[in-house]
Amino acid sequence: MDRLPGFRDFYPEPLPPTKDELWSMDARNHIFDSWRAVARRYGFREYEGPPLEPLELYTNKSGEEIVGQLFNFVDKGERAVAMRPEMTPTLARMAAAQERAYKKPFKWFSIPQLFRYEKQQKGRKREHFQLNCDIIGEHDRAADAELIALLIDTLRALGLTSADFVVRLSSRNAWSEFFASRCPDAAKAYDFFQIVDKLDRTRPEDSAALLAPLGFKLEEVQAFITGGQPNAELQLILDQLAARGLRDFVRVDYGVIRGLAYYTGPVFEAFDIKGEFRAICGGGRYDHLIKQVSGGKVDLPALGFGMGDVVLFELLKSRGLLPQFTAGLAVYVLIEDETLRADSLRLIQQLREAGLATEFSLTPTKGDKQFKRALELNAAHTVRLEKQADGSLAAKLKHLKSREESTLAPAEVVKRLVP
Ligand code: HAM
């Protein structure tokens, strides 16, 4: 039976040569470990929420596009539910419910698996993992700068540089002002943002036809994008990034507006410089979402970003930035004399209790086959017990890279490897 389209199996490396697209759990862990390490460096705390939520959490709040992609159904208790397509509404719900317990601003991160019934294409699946970093309870644009610095350092930690990616920074406020200066009907603003969001994916004549009823000409919208100078809020963010030495990673680009409905202030997306891939990451301010999700009970400003694993993995692979993954074994214990299996098991137990990744052959196997397996698994050392002429046991410890071998008492092996 095949897996569902758009879903992935994650295999341990090395991956078998196959025409099928295979994903590696080692690469996934590499990315997740790096994400966690950098988020913690910036003082973010990890949280998690349920993968299944009430359908209502998404309808009206996330925007039509994402609602049209929901995996939703009616559960056995007659509840309308949906697999989470994004984390932000869950975070807004959680933050509103417990905000009194946390000093503001609070900085939280999560790595949820998300589900969207998307048309399959490069960089788009029906499930993906997404690093979400959000700051709740801070109006100051210093928080926007902090978040963008974290986004940049997250990508740098994986080996990417300003020659590989750029953060395109924009402002919904600037767009709102532009909209209001020509169209008095504020209720139409979201329709307008949607058209702008899709400009580069839509034929110009179609965009022009959609803009006309709102009172806009395509040329003036394009001129606003190309002429875009940073407004005051973007300048504050740029200055703080410059002070951190991170200015080179950011470009003001009003072509970014973000498709999701809830964004309010500065918004941004990260792309590979060559433009080969879809957005690696997207985010911005959403100062009204918590109020909306809590039915007006809690009103807190918020901002955040989501970075997907799919595009990032493809980008790292194309730039040769994924390391060679191995089983990471410290010791392979060779059992060449079956009468020493019990003594070997005792040693194996000691090695593992000392925290060393240790492997051995579960069944009697020829010595050279065991050694070959140790090499295949890229073990750092082999250990072999030997009976001495006086009946005592000696351990032969071999460092596989240098081929250096030493003989020591079995009780000394752990001490030698864990000084
Ligand atoms: P988003 O732009 O919908 O934002 O997704 C963020 C990133 O997730 C995208 O740039 C892309 O890398 C990845 N992504 C999205 N959909 C897929 C898919 N079907 N397959 C593979 N990767 C995908 C959000 O989700 C916002 N909730 C982010 C956010 C957090 N805003 C504030 N806080």
pLDDT in tens, 157-189: 999 999 999 999 999 999 999 999 888 888 888
Q: Residue 368: CB partners within 8 Å, gap ≥ 6?
A: none
Reported confidence tier of residue 302, pLDDT bands at 50, 70, 90: very high
pLDDT at 66 over 80: no
Return the structure tokens found at 413: 């092996």
- Looking at the structure, do residues 198 and 112 belong to the same domain, yes or no? yes
User: Within 13 A of 327's CA, how many CA atoms are on the CB side?
Assistant: 16
Instruction: Name beta bridge partners: 281.
Output: 270, 307
Q: What is the pLDDT of residue 116?
A: 96
Residue of the CA atom closest to atom 9 of ligand 1: 281
**Where among 291, 318, 345 does a domain terminate?**
318
The percent of residues above 90 in pLDDT, for the chain, comes to: 86
- Looking at the structure, do residues 237 and 356 belong to the same domain, yes or no? no
CA distance 241 to 243: 5
- Looking at the structure, do residues 112 and 143 belong to the same domain, yes or no? yes
Q: Residue 124: CB partners within 8 Å, gap ≥ 6?
A: 118, 278, 310
CA distance 297 to 292: 9
Number of structural domains, the chain? 2
* Cα 339 to averaged position of ligand 1 atoms, centre (Å): 58
Instruction: Name beta bridge partners: 127.
Output: 115
Answer yes or no: is the C-beta of 105 below 6 A from any ligand 1 atom: no
- Looking at the structure, do residues 189 and 289 belong to the same domain, yes or no? yes
Answer yes or no: is the C-beta of 61 below 6 A from any ligand 1 atom: no
> Ligand 1, closest atom to CA 307?
7
Return the structure tokens found at 270: 């990260």
State which residues form the domain around 246.
10-318
Q: Which residue has the tokens 């928080």?
A: 143
Q: What is the pLDDT of residue 259?
A: 79
CA distance 196 to 255: 7
> Ligand 1, closest atom to CA 283?
31
Rounded average pLDDT over 124-131:
97
* Cα 356 to averaged position of ligand 1 atoms, centre (Å): 38
Reported confidence tier of residue 280, pLDDT bands at 50, 70, 90: very high
Reported confidence tier of residue 63, pLDDT bands at 50, 70, 90: low
- Looking at the structure, do residues 353 and 242 belong to the same domain, yes or no? no
Residue of the CA atom closest to atom 6 of ligand 1: 306
pLDDT at 18 over 90: no
- Looking at the structure, do residues 163 and 264 belong to the same domain, yes or no? yes
Return the structure tokens found at 366: 């020829």
Q: Residue 146: CB partners within 8 Å, gap ≥ 6?
A: 42, 135, 240
Q: Is residue 121 part of a domain?
A: yes
The percent of residues above 70 in pLDDT, for the chain, comes to: 99
Q: What does the pLDDT look like over 312-324, one tens digit per residue? A: 999 999 999 999 9
Round the average pLDDT of the chain to a whole number and report it.
Answer: 94
Q: What does the pLDDT look like over 143-163, one tens digit per residue? A: 999 999 999 999 999 999 999
> Ligand 1, closest atom to CA 279?
10
Q: What does the pLDDT look like over 265-276, one tens digit per residue? A: 999 999 999 999
Answer yes or no: is the C-beta of 281 below 6 A from any ligand 1 atom: yes
Return the structure tokens found at 27: 């690469």
**DSSP letters of 255-314?**
T---SSTT--SEEEEEEETT--SS-SEEEEE-TTHHHHHTTTS----EEEEEEEHHHHHH
- Among 53, 310, 316, which is best to mutate for testing ligand 1, by the most ligand atoms less than 8 A from CB? 310
Q: What does the pLDDT look like over 323-354, one tens digit per residue? A: 999 888 999 999 999 999 999 999 999 999 99
pLDDT at 206 over 70: yes
Q: Is residue 57 part of a domain?
A: yes
Q: Is residue 219 part of a domain?
A: yes
Answer yes or no: is the C-beta of 331 below 6 A from any ligand 1 atom: no
pLDDT at 62 over 70: no
Q: What are the start-end ranges of the E strands in 44-192?
A: 45-46, 52-54, 72-74, 80-83, 106-110, 113-115, 127-136, 165-171
**Where among 318, 340, 356 does a domain terminate?**
318
Q: What is the pLDDT of residue 328?
A: 87
- Looking at the structure, do residues 115 and 24 belong to the same domain, yes or no? yes
> Ligand 1, closest atom to CA 69?
19
Reported confidence tier of residue 20, pLDDT bands at 50, 70, 90: confident
- Looking at the structure, do residues 212 and 254 belong to the same domain, yes or no? yes
Answer yes or no: is the C-beta of 304 below 6 A from any ligand 1 atom: yes
- Among 4, 93, 130, which is best to mutate for testing ligand 1, by the most ligand atoms less than 8 A from CB? 130
- Looking at the structure, do residues 310 and 189 belong to the same domain, yes or no? yes
* Cα 132 to averaged position of ligand 1 atoms, centre (Å): 9
- Looking at the structure, do residues 35 and 104 belong to the same domain, yes or no? yes
* Cα 68 to averaged position of ligand 1 atoms, centre (Å): 15
Q: What is the pLDDT of residue 225?
A: 93
pLDDT at 294 over 80: yes
Nearest to 112 by CA among 161, 68, 72, 52: 52
Classify residue 375 as exposed, middle or buried by CB count within 10 Å of its CB (0-12, 13-18, 19+): exposed
pLDDT at 61 over 70: no
- Looking at the structure, do residues 300 and 197 belong to the same domain, yes or no? yes
Length of the chain: 419
* Cα 114 to averaged position of ligand 1 atoms, centre (Å): 9
Residue 391 sits in a domain of what CATH number?
3.40.50.800
Residue of the CA atom closest to atom 18 of ligand 1: 124
Q: What is the pLDDT of residue 250?
A: 98
Q: Is residue 323 part of a domain?
A: no
pTM over 0.85: yes
* N-to-C CA span, the chain: 50
